[in-house]
Amino acid sequence: MNGTEVYLDHAATTVVREEAIEAMSRVMRDVGNASSLHATGRRARRYVEEARESIAEAVGAHPIEIILTSGATEADNLAVKGLHRLRHKENPRRKTLIVSPAEHHAVLDTARWLQSDEGADLAWAEVDRYGAVTSDSLRAAIATAGDTATAVAVMWANNEVGAISDIPALAAMAAVEGVPMHSDAVQAVGVLPIDFAASGLETMAITAHKVGGPQGVGALVARRSFKPTPLLHGGGQERQIRSGTLDVAGAVGFGVAIAAATAEMRNHRERVGVLRERLIARLRTVVPDLDVNGVPENDPGRTLPGILSVSIPGCSGDALLMVLDTNGISVSTGSACTAGVAEPSHVVLAMGGSEERARSTLRISMGRTTTEADLDALVEAFPEAVLRARAAAGVR
């Protein structure tokens, strides 16, 4: 990364840890397919299984419950499609998938595809004004679905606004109704204590590149009872759920990174939480009409410490992003672009925000390499960037 850049988009991907790079480099010098039976293959398999054990330990799972994938998008697809199809096959009356409208698109788009291509019905577990799914909203969604429910999908912590949902409580509620639950825990791992065994979840998606590992490798954490129709057919790797030659170096990098992130978790959470609270106060000083999306700063235990979502009236988030980018500052918006057309943040809309607020959203996300100097640079550039973005929108 260029030394002149200020990187504040750690929720998108974070800096790869040096220890992960070193471990991957060592492994990549070895030849071996982890599915081969000879000595080099067995050595590669040992690397993978040691990594699997590290990943499992970090999230409170058994190693056999770790199914290595290309990332969380694949894991979410495996889980949501797998759970829905399994339950529908057992009982054709079951065809209602319960999801939160604030989910990552890896879950939302999968649910909508099941709706359009396989006849699934969708019931919505609405989020509160902070972006979290409550017990009341899930109870209402389960009541709507009745005995037609196939599965529930609620993310552990929201990737745009940082709101944390009480996943064990929600999973327990779903279990009373006999409905399995999946959670995208990508943003939570390495920041919050995660215990899959105690969570009540049937499946959970995680990924390496949010904890300082490489991009392109993740895992579906799944109970042994989870036996879906695979998305990929071939060699039968990963409990015959995910065929394909294993990325040995990627798995090793994932294992090293998630172990390090878990070991540092408490200190990281406290340090970055302090940075977030200071940043909110400083940004409000230079842009007084700035609004915070999500959990208010006086209740930090309900939000991820590293994610700050703000809306600036009269200011397009996309325009503000580009102005800050010209100043060497990397942030993101809450919007998703489809075919080059910027759309308002579906998360802010799900929270009850107006379309104007959803279009004026900016996400600032901090990680283990974020410094006070990074935030100084952002605060210094922010007022002028807001003025320029408002001027581009014709607002004075």
From 159, 217, 149, select the one nearest 184 (Cα to Cα).
159
Residues 311/357, Cβ–Cβ less than 8 Å: yes
**Contact, 248 vs 47, CB < 8 A?**
yes
Distance CA 157, CA 133 (A): 10
Return the beta strands (E) in the chain as ranges. 6-7, 66-69, 96-99, 121-124, 149-153, 181-184, 203-207, 218-222, 291-293, 307-311, 329-330, 332-333, 337-338, 341-342, 361-365
Q: What DSSP string describes 123-140?
A: EE--B-TTS-B-HHHHHH
- If DSSP codes are grouped into helix, strand and coil, which group holds residue 182? strand
Q: How far apart are CA 332 and CA 183, in angstroms?
A: 24
The residues carrying an active-site annotation are 337
Q: How far apart are CA 343 and CA 205, in angstroms?
A: 26
A 10 A CB-CB count for 37 gives 8
Q: What is the helix (H) or strand (E) element at residue 378, kind and residue range? A: helix 372-392
Cα separation, 50 vs 249, in Å, equals 12
Residue 62 to residues 15, 245, 262, 302, Cα–Cα distance (Å):
28, 22, 16, 28
